[in-house]
Structure 1
Amino acid sequence: MKHYYFLFTFLISLSISAQVEKATFKPYLFMSYSDDIPDTHIYGAMHYTNIHNTVPDEWVGSFYQSGMMHTWYRPAKIYDLPDYHRDAYGYHSIEGGAGYKPANSFHNYKTPQKFTMGGVAGGFGAFSNGPGQGSPGFKNSRKSPTLRWEDNTGRYGAAVISNNLLFPLDGIGFEEGENNKMFGYGYYALPLTEPKSTTAGQNKPTGNRSWTLFFNTENFSGPVAFHTPYHWSKRSLTQESTIGRNLDNSLLKRSPRFQRETNNLPAKKWVNSNGDTYYKISPALMPMDADGIGRIGTMPMNMDDTMWNAVSNWFNGGPVASTNFNAKEGAVHIRTNTNFKASYRLDKTKYIASADFVTRVSDPNDPSAAAFKWKGDLIEKVEGRNLVKLPEYYVLLKGSKSPKAIAASEVPEESGLKALDSRADYENDWEFDNYNREAIYTPMLPEYTYSDKVVDAWKTPGPTAGPYYAKLEDGSTAVYYWYKFNEQPSILNSDMDEAERALIQKRIELIHTNWHSDDQYFPDPKQEKISLDKNLLVTPPKGLEVGYVPICIHQQLSTEKLPDFPEINRLETK
């Protein structure tokens, strides 16, 4: 009887081991750069990140999140403290950037990445992703009749500067079909405001570091928007350890390393009777240029106070500041790439022996490029595109710590792994919801009736002209009005009195008059620059060419009927 029991349990174990089970694949990349940033170069930073599709078009959806090459810009006055600890001082950062955003409502397929600003103040309770964009969870707050637009904890943290680029509520997208091209972005502390000793009526200071977002792309360059100083200093009202130390007052902590964060991608596994585990990952793509080199990003730049001084002098009656950050020798410091590490994991803890198929190389034409080269027969070129597909199959032998990439011919037929060839094979394990596609509303929605000081800023004094419509590559229509710069909701909710708003209006008018979207701001990369969605490029209406900005007030699928937004033309009364 005992013999039959052991035979029975052995057969059961064979049955269990023969099942294909859910697994995960996490492709995480680390890029290290020369730690030689001069102590004076902490007024701003910028870099280029490669925009490429990391999954095939038919796999695009909100089931995962992946940033492109990015870093974290943090306040030196907090992070350089000898006793810094997150519990005592909180978390503060400008982070993220371009990538796959699971909270997005709309997307392209061939170029689905979008850009958001990622201004985290005092922990993730104050998260500014862009004009009208707070924490991702704030965007579609259907359970609240106010849609939580009365919460000034991030949605009003960034203000529009550009009068030639629309910043949609769902983030800035790229031209559909663009792939394996460089996108330049970064932040510089422009003196758009003056420092003051009080914040929201309390004796706590607000500085004049306006961390301004700059782009360098094929069809648009220059300042886009900025995090208002109040977005940072507001945290000091309840978090006294940050008084005078946040990004409204502080310059940057040096940031030596870049990463590309990616959460888990679908995979499957099968265990044979010997205890060896075989894996198949869903399709995962990486860039490769004609020379066989992949370049994740390049040219991290750190800037000194040259532009700060030039702009300050300009704003105080001096000559117009040049748009060229690199006009003065040494003002821009460009770092050299020193390492690239592909940290690919299966089931969270099992590190793949990635050196079998990818290795770091020094780019002969660009020492700043985070460059790598594919090797071996397991790397598959994607036909018609400058992409490669990572090895699909791996084996973790019993007793080994590192899975190794293998050819399909080495995978046992009885595993059933080779029969998995479509997204449908993974849908029982993963939610492929293709983004929520829900409209993004603001208090400008005609039926929005809630009223308080914060939400009333959308309508009082309100837009100058509109509505206007932009049909975007992501399948949505963005509705926008033209606001006087200092009458946009973010400025009205940034603790500025009338005199302060008049001053910043004057300074923005100088920028609109003298800085243009086709000027040179930063050195160009060796590789091609990517283009933004051309439908985001806008021209001010006649009479609003200087001092007015486009503010997105609604976004929804282009196939759906739009609300009836009121026609506004206040220009004649000015």
Structure 2
Amino acid sequence: MKIKYFLIACFSITAFSHFSVSAQVNGSNPDDGYQKLPQLSQGLHGYISMNMPQQKEGFGYGVSFYVNAWPLLEKPLSNFQIGLPGTWVVPDNRGFEDPLCPIGTYGRDNWPQRGPSYRDVFQTIEGSLGFWGSTQFGSTTAKYRMNGTANCYSGEISSPGWGFGQTKPLAKDAMGMAQLSNHLIIPPDGITFVKGTSGELMGNAWMALPIVVAQPKKDGKAASGDESWTCFLNASNFKGPIAFYIPGIWSKIADNYPTAEGRTLDTREGVVGAGAIEINSVPRFEATDKNGVVYSKIPRLQFPVDKDGITTLMQDATLYSKNAIFGPLQSFFNDGGVIPNRFPVDASFVPQCSTDKTTYDQGPNSTPIQGIDSYFQETMLGKSSYGLKWKKEVKNGLAFFPEYFKEEGNKMVAITASEVPDDINLKTQNFNPARTGRTYKSLSNEGNVYQTPGPKSQTFKATLTDGSIVTYQWYKFIDQPALQSLNLSSADKETIQKRVEKIHASWTSDKTYMAAPTKGKLVTLDKAIIVKPPKGMEVGYVPIVIQQEAGK
């Protein structure tokens, strides 16, 4: 069963799917008195978040920030899902109260509490570093996934070709993300980092760019705008845009539904939500002592700390106006001149954020958890930066979330391992390790969007730090699979192709776009996902992933 949690506040809590976990009864050894307990789900749920006041008018054309990348677990586990701070961008429909989600969409039919407008679940751009139950190739280090929904959660898009957590490729008309970078491949299981990553910062931005030409209303299809929301990364070995949402994927929901016309992310400014850790699917063990008191155990969660006992979660969150990149790039495409590179300070706004009250719960009845505030305190680290100030459990540069809890009345209370009775076998329990999953494989039959117009190169392979192997081919930008459902005119195709060629020629991966972090060291991306175009395809061609499989 799939359940979704949402948080609407300052920079986003990604709405990741929650997969229920049935109890798994394992064997025991009667000779040593040890008994393997059944592994349960719902070990921990909660948010550690940063809020922002109402967004300043006119600053809805982009958002950037830095987030901490680290191994939350010593080893990857199955049925484990925690999203680290990420983005949440929705179209600005504040004050609009008519139902944006049509009857028949998932949000309209299942979440009446989001009515009457459904604007918070209408369309979103999400994504973050994190660990997910749908990961097919487990990794100790967090991976980065883009994610979004254009149709009230009736479908989700996570990479050029695949939806969130789905190994089956998206249908032609459901593809909504285009590959833009000609120097970085985007694995559907998530972007990987070098081994040993712990505490470095990844720069992430979503900026509205005028890449795809606006389309008029025709043949029963709603008009689409010219805002191509584009993901930028800032790492030590790669900087620049990697992919964008195709404007037509947003306007599609308005086909035959006039209420949504002009209300979608291709035509409106974005409103940015919250910065938060979403603690979602965490396994647990339970045991009862001779007095009937229940104890529980969750995996050991670790956090990197600096010399002052601080874990930075998100920092330097910044909003941008149309004059930052959209306007100057539009002028460059129309009139020539110098292409804009840096996100300018004079077109940016740094919001005054604040920490949010954090609550946690456990078990099928959402039993409240108390005592975690004795381990750390959420704290602001600047106007738009936040993290954790640790009070105890700091060892060798790492701090640890409590593993054990004890039932006291109608709540669970965090305790230390020494407070758990030895005779209930709780401390000896080990959680199920992650297992290699299914292969992501694109369509190979003749006539599909991967074959028509088709690639312009042979296949290439890259072995990632998560042990998986990615296969990719080079396509002319305008011929890539995700753009084939747009039915663009020849003139529009030529215009878009020329725009991308100008971007490739000018926006190289060694330039600076986002401002550097105010403190901290940049993360390093997995060197295997950084690629070089084949000879003759240096400009105007992009690498498209066609498969991701387990390594040999």
**TM-score, normalized by length of structure 1?**
0.81
State the shift of 1:91 in Å: 2.5
State the shift of 1:340 in Å: 4.9
Give 1:414's match in structure 2, choosing from 423, 426, 429. Answer: 423
Q: Evaluate the alpha carbon distance shift between residue 515 and residue 84 of structure 1 in structure 2; reply closer, same or farther with a 3 A threshold.
A: same
C-alpha distance after superposition, 1:246-275 (max 9, x if no partner):
1111211243x3222122322223344555
Give the letter aligned to residue 106 of structure 1: F
State the shift of 1:299 in Å: 1.6
C-alpha distance after superposition, 1:386-434 (max 9, x if no partner):
432222222232x3x44333233332333332333x33xxx5xxxx552
State the shift of 1:312 in Å: 0.8
Give the letter aligned to residue 547 of structure 2: H
State the shift of 1:380 in Å: 4.9
Give the count of matched residue pairs: 497
Counterpart of 1:502 in structure 2 is: 494
Larger helix proportion of the pair? 1
Could you tell me how far apart the structure 1 residues matched to 2:535 and 2:476 are? 14
Give 1:160's match in structure 2, choosing from 165, 171, 179. Answer: 179
Give 2:81's match in structure 1, choosing from 36, 51, 65. Answer: 65
State the shift of 1:22 in Å: 5.7
Could you tell me how far apart the structure 2 residues matched to 1:56 and 1:165 are? 28
Counterpart of 2:440 in structure 1 is: 440
Task: Indicate yes or no: 2:139 matched with 1:108.
Answer: yes
Could you tell me how far apart the structure 1 residues matched to 2:368 and 2:54 are? 34
Q: Mean Cα displacement is larger for which, 223-232 or 242-251? A: 242-251
State the shift of 1:203 in Å: 5.3
Task: Indicate yes or no: 2:94 matched with 1:93.
Answer: no
Q: Evaluate the alpha carbon distance shift between residue 117 and residue 19 of structure 1 in structure 2; reply closer, same or farther with a 3 A threshold.
A: closer
Counterpart of 1:518 in structure 2 is: 510
Identity of aligned residues (%): 30
After superposition, residues 297-312 of structure 1 pair within 5 angstroms as 297-306=314-323, 307-312=325-330
Give the letter aligned to residue 69 of structure 1: P
C-alpha distance after superposition, 1:184-235 (max 9, x if no partner):
2121110112322225x22521111111111111111111111101111122
Q: Evaluate the alpha carbon distance shift between residue 469 and residue 70 of structure 1 in structure 2; reply closer, same or farther with a 3 A threshold.
A: same
Give 1:318's match in structure 2, choosing from 331, 336, 355. Answer: 336
Give 1:191's match in structure 2, choosing from 210, 231, 234. Answer: 210
Gaps of 5+ in 1: 1-17, 141-147, 560-574
Q: Evaluate the alpha carbon distance shift between residue 517 and residue 261 of structure 1 in structure 2; reply closer, same or farther with a 3 A threshold.
A: same
Task: Indicate yes or no: 2:335 matched with 1:335.
Answer: no
Q: Mean Cα displacement is larger for which, 483-492 or 87-96? A: 87-96
Gaps of 5+ in 2: 1-34, 101-106, 109-116
State the shift of 1:371 in Å: 1.9
Could you tell me how far apart the structure 1 residues matched to 2:504 and 2:372 are? 49
Q: Evaluate the alpha carbon distance shift between residue 108 and residue 418 of structure 1 in structure 2; reply closer, same or farther with a 3 A threshold.
A: closer
Could you tell me how far apart the structure 2 residues matched to 1:234 and 1:361 are? 42
Could you tell me how far apart the structure 1 residues matched to 2:70 and 2:486 are? 36
Counterpart of 2:388 in structure 1 is: 372
Could you tell me how far apart the structure 2 residues matched to 1:389 and 1:94 are? 31
Secondary structure of 2:440's counterpart equals coil
Could you tell me how far apart the structure 2 residues matched to 1:349 and 1:419 are? 24
The answer to whether the 8 A contact 2:82-2:278 is kept is: yes
State the shift of 1:80 in Å: 4.0
Give 1:76's match in structure 2, choosing from 85, 92, 97. Answer: 92
Task: Indicate yes or no: 2:400 matched with 1:389.
Answer: yes
Task: Indicate yes or no: 2:338 matched with 1:346.
Answer: no
The answer to whether the 8 A contact 1:162-1:225 is kept is: yes
Give 2:540's match in structure 1, choosing from 540, 547, 560. Answer: 547
Counterpart of 2:112 in structure 1 is: none
> What's the C-alpha RMSD, in Å, of the aligned pairs?
2.4
State the shift of 1:53 in Å: 1.6
Task: Indicate yes or no: 2:202 matched with 1:202.
Answer: no
**TM-score, normalized by length of structure 2?**
0.84
Give the letter aligned to residue 477 of structure 2: F
The answer to whether the 8 A contact 2:44-2:280 is kept is: yes
After superposition, residues 447-462 of structure 1 pair within 5 angstroms as 448=445, 451=447, 455=448, 457-462=449-454
Give the letter aligned to residue 504 of structure 2: H
The answer to whether the 8 A contact 2:468-2:551 is kept is: yes
Q: Mean Cα displacement is larger for which, 542-551 or 234-243? A: 234-243
Q: Mean Cα displacement is larger for which, 99-108 or 273-282? A: 273-282
Q: Evaluate the alpha carbon distance shift between residue 123 and residue 197 of structure 1 in structure 2; reply closer, same or farther with a 3 A threshold.
A: same
Counterpart of 2:16 in structure 1 is: none
Counterpart of 2:298 in structure 1 is: 281
The answer to whether the 8 A contact 2:79-2:283 is kept is: no
Could you tell me how far apart the structure 1 residues matched to 2:263 and 2:252 are? 12
State the shift of 1:62 in Å: 3.8
Give the letter aligned to residue 159 of structure 2: G
Could you tell me how far apart the structure 2 residues matched to 1:476 and 1:20 are? 32
Secondary structure of 2:253's counterpart equals helix
Secondary structure of 1:173's counterpart equals coil
Could you tell me how far apart the structure 1 residues matched to 2:536 and 2:39 are? 60
Secondary structure of 2:402's counterpart equals coil
Could you tell me how far apart the structure 2 residues matched to 1:193 and 1:325 are? 20
Could you tell me how far apart the structure 2 residues matched to 1:443 and 1:84 are? 36
Give 2:44's match in structure 1, choosing from 8, 26, 48. Answer: 26
Could you tell me how far apart the structure 1 residues matched to 2:227 and 2:405 are? 50
